[in-house]
Amino acid sequence: MSESQPLLATVKVAKSYGPVAALREVDFSVRRGEVHALLGANGAGKSTLVKILAGVHPADAGDLHVDGRPMRIHAPVDAIAVGIATVFQDPALIPDLTVRQNLRLSEIEESAFTHWLSWFDLEDLDTDSLVRELPLETLRMVDLARALARDPQVLLLDEITAALTADQAERVFSLLGQWREQGRAAVLITHRLAEVRRICDRATILRDGRNVALFEPNSDTAAANGSATGTMQDVDEHELVEAMLGAEVSDSAAIEAPGSHPQRQQESPSSVQEVSFAAQGLSSGEVVRDISFELRRGEILGLVALEGQGQERLFSLLSGDRRPSSGDILVGGSQRRWTAPYDAVGDGVVLIPGDRLLTLLPNLPVRQNLVVPLFSRIRQWLRIPTDERQRVMNAIDRLSIDTRAASQVRRLSGGNQQKVAIGRWLVAGFRTLLCFDPTRGIDVQTKREIYALLRELAASGAAILLYTSELAEIQLVCDRVLIMHDGRIVDEQDAAHATESSLLTAAHGLEVLA
Amino acid sequence: MMTTVRSAGVAVWRAGLARNSWSLGVWLLLSALLIWYATLIPVFGQFQITSISKNSLPLVYLAIGQAIIVIAGGIDLSLGALLLLTNALAARFMDDQPFAMVLFIAIILIAGLGILNALVGYIISVSGVPDIVVTLATGYIWSGFALWILPSPGGGTAPEFRWLFTGAQSGIGGTYVMPILMMMVPAILVFLLSRHTRIGLSIYAIGSDSVAARLAGLDVRRAKVSSYAIGGAMAALAGLATVALTGTGDPRFSVGANATLNSVAAVVLGGVALVGGTGLVLGAVAAGVILIMLNPILSAMGIDPNNAQIIQGLLIAGVMVVGGLVTLLRERSA
Amino acid sequence: MSQTPLPAQPGAPTGLAARAAEHISEHPTLALTGILAVLVLVTGFIEPNYLSVSGARNTLLQAAPLGILAGAQTILMLTGGIDLSVTMVATGSAYVAANQSPEGALIAIFLGIVVGLAVGSANGVGVAIFRVNPLIMTLAMSGILLGLFTAWAQTILQGSTQMGPFIKLIGGGSFLGNRIPYSVVVWVLIAGGLIWLLRRTGWGRLLYAIGDNEVAVRLAGVRVWQVRITAYIVAGVLGSISGILLGGRTGAVDLQLANAFLLPSVAAAVIGGTSIFGGVGGYTGTILGALILSVLNSMLTFLNVGQAIQQVVYGTIVLALAWGYAGLTRRA
């Protein structure tokens, strides 16, 4: 494709954070009229590349070309000036200002912004509401609308669909179709390979800070057909995964492909084992209503819900972080009244929250992160268990945490951070594990490791409640699955027979009842 | 159409009031205290209002400056020392000068200290040393300079200059129009600047979420430096007001340290959270006046002025405890 | 995750100077020790008598109370807190101890420490349970204490403002032929205790953890308020001890006794590398910070330049040290 000058290109871009090389030598280019997928496992360098393109961090080495001209981008404001608009995973909006004040700060024409808002069916949004008061999915759309109102040439979208409803995602896809027709470009960072096949034209794969593959299927038809779909449909998802993981790793990963885990073949333990944790008529305002379930030793109970059905609140009730307005929590058959996570942890009920920011000590070493729960009681304050070091080493080994950047956890990749979050409970021990979306935004390999670990923990007698936003995980790891809708449990299915479509139907609530 | 527009306007106002209910509450508290004070003493009139408003000037100016810096996510422990420095410079160089010259010096000082403190803001931003540490150190430096310029209390200023801040050329008695004007004009100017200009909003933005502000394409450093420049200029005003009030210069370190601590107290009482990004400059203004008013109120109640210190501390701690309690209960019930 | 070790990075420093800088940035206490040594030599150059046992003793006599106060700040700063009332606690404790000195040294010291316990508990409850910003809580507390002790000085604390002989000995006396001050022994004991607490106990681990991410500690099943309150109590007690030593050194107490130590106590911790935002630092650095500030103080006194210039130089050096430290550690 020599006739088309790349709209945006990097040449041998490199970036290190302290001792960790995030990008080594990346050549990446985006043409006019394409939707380009940027793929890779966690820690492969996707986010770093986006940050360099967006001007958040300067590159240590290498060149950046926009429309064939070399450019220096020192700050986000420079990137915006050359026509690169970015929608980050965390919306770049000021929480204590109103939407309108945010627009004013970014010097955005309000009319252009409202045009895009109505494109996303959000014309009812009150621009005088504080950003702090708006839900995350709305903020991501606001952020996207603001980016579009800048009328950019290149749009960088980092995991844009993760927080959106299916409906809103469709809108974004059709927008990308238009974008292609207008001869602009978009870069899509995503973990959802189905999206890539559906709407992208090319895909660059990063691994260990290098661009290792470029998928470029019959690109002649790309710009010409002008439809909302890209040209990646014929690419095999497995090929993409293989490229992301590298040859040797993907072989070992294949052993644990769906349905093949040894534990899944066993008889469901629910009929045999004692109930270790139960909720009875648990309610919290209008958000969580009358939820009852039993969780047995050795069981992994799945929980499925669309965004915002009260699952976050349910988990904070179950972990003692909030008190229910009514209903009971039973541990080992006896009723518990918890006022803080302190009490829940004392009863062996522990939480791995969805947001890793809630569970990591970012500036402290891995070891300090892992040992915190060992000192929750005052009587533990003045000594350090003699086997502390041993326990930490065991947890690190068992999770195969990559400790190259162990002196500060914030330097670890997302997947490794999640392992640390899980690891602190391996060190301290527990009976009931509450897992909130532990694999969100994590690469395939780490996901598989986490599935295997959960099965292993269950086999050794733990009771696990697993909320997940990825429906495919239910069959893979769970024994039973509860479906939550509008604050209630609306259905229970046997995980072995739960299909994505049966789960989705139930998760929409009304259809199942009808 | 008209009605919907108007009701939307009302809704915006209502939301605005709800968001700034703390600032509103502080002004209500100030009014209540004034009324109470009026009933406490036999005669309440021009003299009392003049005295409260002019005595509040230095603290109110410092509180405005501190508020802007705190809103931007910083804190300036050198504001009191900047007050000392201005006070010393003004008393030394304004002595026996004609009014025009005195005004010229005043303007130079306001601009000069604004620039000086902007430099401090720049140092904070480049060095990565926390605000509290840098300003702690610069506080020493400025009060050292103040002592160097004016080794012992003394100096003076033009009578007209004293009239400007106190309403009387002798600094005694006079009209309350001047002190109230001198309080409200800068207060409202800085308030409008902070809420209705792009630089003001970016000061809120960096205090609220500096990462998001940078990603949104704002110049974080410029906003930071601006907040410190405003703080420096307001501290200069406070130093000038002190010269006008006392007619002399006093370079004692403890005067500056107390002024700094009071400015922080006024800002927090005024509803500007120390984490930054929230609160209104006007809230800090009312809180500054309240802190000054406590003294005459307590003495009117026949309470030993030594105990004023205790009451002031209890008031600050009490208000903060109640604030914490409200948040706690709100979280429990939510 | 690939387990293969990384090849040498392109950006790794190669030259000798760069390697030295790298080494220092990993061990900032080396740099602090170097600065301390340079300051001692410069002071010795200005006043040759300073490089003697008595010079060292005088500096240590100054450094001990400051180092203990800075220990209080270090503990609290690690949790993201600060104590602006610690010097009023010191002053109040000394005042009480002096007042009770006729009752015997043990009672005097005990009652002095009760002041720190009480104020520390009150600060802790305010900060940990009512979530008052520590800066504000301790600032208000400082005002309350000043008012209370001013009032009490004329009522219930009327009487002796002289420390008893035992406290004077501990605060200002020396042994081994007038070589080693008793207060330094107290400081060494406290320093050992603090270093053990911070490095080798669960409580110490929790202080760092809370300073880094309080929510994560709460979700790990820790009652964060317990840790915070105990930290403020320990800080209060350290304030008391420091005040009693200081009072013993000066012999007589007044309400300005420890005032001048507030900013240096924070500065010593900061220079020593403890982050005011919490989670980073330790007491070893603070000890060096307190020594550096004390030597600096002696140097400025010998220079005999007057208070104005002293303040300017003091401020400039604190700023330069903090800046240099930030620059060094940011490389890592």
Range of the domain at B195: 24-33+45-317
Per the CB < 8 Å rule, is C311 touching B129?
A: no
- Compute φ and ψ for A158, nearest 5 degrees: -95, 105
Residue A391: CB atoms within 10 A of its CB come to 18
* Strand extents, DSSP E, A177-311: 185-189, 202-207, 210-215, 275-284, 288-296, 300-305
pLDDT value of position A445: 82
Per the CB < 8 Å rule, is B198 touching A94?
A: no
Per the CB < 8 Å rule, is A323 touching B332?
A: yes
Q: Measured between CB atoms, does B18 come within 8 Å of chain A?
A: no
Q: Say yes or no to pLDDT of C9 above 60.
A: no
Which of B212, B332, B334 minimises the CB distance to A94? B212
Q: Could you tell me which of A360, A339, A345 has the C-alpha nearest to residue A405?
A: A360
pLDDT value of position A19: 61
Better-scored residue on pLDDT, A51 or A239: A51
pLDDT value of position A415: 82
pLDDT value of position A254: 38
Query: Model confidence at A155, in pLDDT bands (50, 70, 90)?
Result: very high
Average pLDDT score over residue span A218-223: 50
Q: Measured between CB atoms, does B199 come within 8 Å of chain A?
A: no
Average pLDDT score over residue span A485-501: 86
Q: Say yes or no to pLDDT of A156 above 90.
A: yes
Mutate to test the interface with C, among A343, A372, A374 (most CBs of C within 10 A): A372
Q: Say yes or no to pLDDT of C262 above 50.
A: yes
Q: Say yes or no to pLDDT of A319 above 60.
A: yes
What subunits make at least 3 CB pairs under 8 angstroms with C?
A: A, B
CA B257 to chain centre: 14
Per the CB < 8 Å rule, is C208 touching A43?
A: no
> Chain B closest CA to A126's CA: distance in Å?
10
> Chain C closest CA to A435's CA: distance in Å?
13
Average pLDDT score over residue span B265-273: 91
Query: Model confidence at C8, in pLDDT bands (50, 70, 90)?
Result: very low
Say which residues have a Cβ less than 8 Å from residue B174's Cβ, sequence separation at least 6. Answer: B50, B163, B166, B167, B168
Query: Model confidence at B8, in pLDDT bands (50, 70, 90)?
Result: low
CA A444 to chain centre: 12
> Chain C closest CA to B130's CA: distance in Å?
7
Please check whether residue B237 is in contact with residue A143, taking contact to mean a CB–CB distance below 8 angstroms: no
Query: Model confidence at A171, in pLDDT bands (50, 70, 90)?
Result: confident
Residue B68 DSSP label = H
State pLDDT tens for residues C118-140: 999 999 999 999 989 898 899 88
Per CB-CB distance under 8 Å, the chain A contacts of C6 are 20-21, 404
Element (H, E) at A464: strand A463-467
Query: Model confidence at A20, in pLDDT bands (50, 70, 90)?
Result: low
Least confident of B1-15, B225-239, C13-27, C263-277: B1-15
Measured CA to CA, the distance from residue C63 to residue C75 in angstroms comes to 18
State pLDDT tens for residues C221-244: 999 999 999 999 999 999 999 999
pLDDT value of position A512: 45
State pLDDT tens for residues A411-453: 887 788 889 999 999 999 999 999 998 887 777 788 888 999 9
Per the CB < 8 Å rule, is A97 touching B205?
A: yes
Q: Say yes or no to pLDDT of A3 above 60.
A: no
**Percent of chain A scoring above 70 in pLDDT:** 88
pLDDT value of position B333: 64
Query: Within a domain: residue B149?
Result: yes
CA distances to A40, A193, A353, A465, C8 from A437, rounded to whole Å, are 20, 19, 8, 10, 36
Average pLDDT score over residue span A9-30: 85
Mean predicted lDDT score pLDDT of chain C: 89
Mutate to test the interface with A, among C1, C2, C275 (most CBs of A within 10 A): C1
Query: Model confidence at A324, in pLDDT bands (50, 70, 90)?
Result: very high
- Compute φ and ψ for A484, nearest 5 degrees: -110, 135
State pLDDT tens for residues C291-316: 999 999 999 888 888 889 988 998 99
Average pLDDT score over residue span A318-346: 92
Q: Could you tell me which of A172, A100, A107, A186 has the C-alpha nearest to residue A141?
A: A172
Which of B129, B141, B314 minimises the CB distance to C322? B129
Which amino acid belongs to residue B212?
A
**Residues comprising chain A, all counted:** 514
pLDDT value of position B59: 97
Average pLDDT score over residue span C176-180: 83
- Domain boundaries along the sequence of chain C: 51-331
Q: Say yes or no to pLDDT of B244 above 50.
A: yes
Query: Model confidence at A262, in pLDDT bands (50, 70, 90)?
Result: very low
Highest mean pLDDT among A261-270, A405-414, B70-79: B70-79
| Bridge-based pairing state of the strands C174-175 and C180-181 | antiparallel
Measured CA to CA, the distance from residue C19 to residue C12 in angstroms comes to 9
Query: Model confidence at A44, in pLDDT bands (50, 70, 90)?
Result: confident
Which of C145, C259, C315 minimises the CB distance to B144? C315
Query: Within a domain: residue B330?
Result: no
Average pLDDT score over residue span B74-100: 95
In C, residues 208-247, which contact A (CB 8 Å cutoff)? 208-209, 212-213, 215-223, 226
Per CB-CB distance under 8 Å, the chain B contacts of A105 are 198, 201-202, 205, 213, 216, 218
Average pLDDT score over residue span A387-402: 88
pLDDT value of position C330: 64
Which amino acid belongs to residue A108?
I
Query: Model confidence at A405, in pLDDT bands (50, 70, 90)?
Result: low
> Is domain C51-331 annotated with CATH 1.20.120?
no
HEC string for B208-228: HCHHHHHHCCCCHHHHHHHHH
Delineate the domains of chain A, giving CATH numbers in brackets: 8-83+152-254 (3.40.50.300), 273-348+467-514 (3.40.50.300)
Which of B204, B214, B219 minimises the CB distance to A96? B204
pLDDT value of position A229: 58
Per the CB < 8 Å rule, is B201 touching A105?
A: yes
Q: Say yes or no to pLDDT of A162 above 80.
A: no
Q: Scan for tokens 């420490």, then name that residue.
A: C113
User: Could you give the ipTM of this predicted complex?
Assistant: 0.86
Query: Model confidence at B172, in pLDDT bands (50, 70, 90)?
Result: confident
Q: Say yes or no to pLDDT of C46 above 80.
A: yes
Average pLDDT score over residue span B207-220: 92
Q: Any long-range contacts for A158-163 (C-beta under 8 Å, 24+ apart)?
A: A158/A47, A158/A50, A158/A86, A158/A87, A158/A88, A158/A89, A158/A189, A159/A89, A159/A189, A159/A190, A159/A191, A159/A441, A160/A87, A160/A188, A160/A190, A161/A190, A161/A192, A161/A195, A162/A89, A162/A440, A162/A441, A163/A136, A163/A137, A163/A307
pLDDT value of position C6: 37
Domain count, chain B: 1
Q: Say yes or no to pLDDT of A147 above 50.
A: yes
Query: Model confidence at C145, in pLDDT bands (50, 70, 90)?
Result: very high
Per CB-CB distance under 8 Å, the chain C contacts of B130 are 270, 275-277
Average pLDDT score over residue span C15-29: 72
State pLDDT tens for residues A179-217: 888 889 999 988 777 788 888 889 998 888 888 888 887
Q: Is the dihedral of CA B61, B62, B65, B67 positive or negative?
A: negative
Measured CA to CA, the distance from residue A325 to residue A284 in angstroms comes to 5
The residues pairing with A69 across neighbouring beta strands, listed in sequence order, are A66
Mean predicted lDDT score pLDDT of chain B: 90
pLDDT value of position C276: 87
Please check whether residue B281 is in contact with residue B52, taking contact to mean a CB–CB distance below 8 angstroms: no
Q: Say yes or no to pLDDT of A271 above 70.
A: no
The residues pairing with A86 across neighbouring beta strands, listed in sequence order, are A156
Highest mean pLDDT among A497-511, C123-137, C169-183: C123-137
Query: Within a domain: residue B147?
Result: yes
Please check whether residue C80 is in contact with residue C279, taking contact to mean a CB–CB distance below 8 angstroms: yes
Judged on CB neighbours under 10 Å (0-12, 13-18, 19+), C110 is middle
Q: Write b or e for each residue in B301-316: b if 16 or more Cβ atoms lie within 10 A of its Cβ, otherwise e.
A: eeeeebebbbbbbbbb
State pLDDT tens for residues B40-83: 888 888 888 899 999 999 999 999 999 999 999 999 999 999 99
Better-scored residue on pLDDT, B121 or B296: B121
Query: Model confidence at C185, in pLDDT bands (50, 70, 90)?
Result: very high
Q: Which residue of B has its CA nearest to C306?
A: B148
Better-scored residue on pLDDT, C155 or B56: B56
Per CB-CB distance under 8 Å, the chain B contacts of A96 are 204, 207-209, 277-278
Least confident of C21-35, C47-61, C280-294: C21-35
pLDDT value of position A346: 93
Mutate to test the interface with A, among C219, C234, C275 (most CBs of A within 10 A): C219
Average pLDDT score over residue span B143-153: 94
Q: Say yes or no to pLDDT of C324 above 70.
A: yes
pLDDT value of position A264: 45
Q: Could you tell me which of A195, A168, A209 has the C-alpha nearest to residue A14?
A: A209
> Chain B closest CA to C189's CA: distance in Å?
29
Per the CB < 8 Å rule, is B253 touching C311?
A: yes
Q: Scan for tokens 């990308």, then name that residue.
A: A176
Q: Say yes or no to pLDDT of A354 above 50.
A: yes
pLDDT value of position C7: 37
pLDDT value of position C91: 96
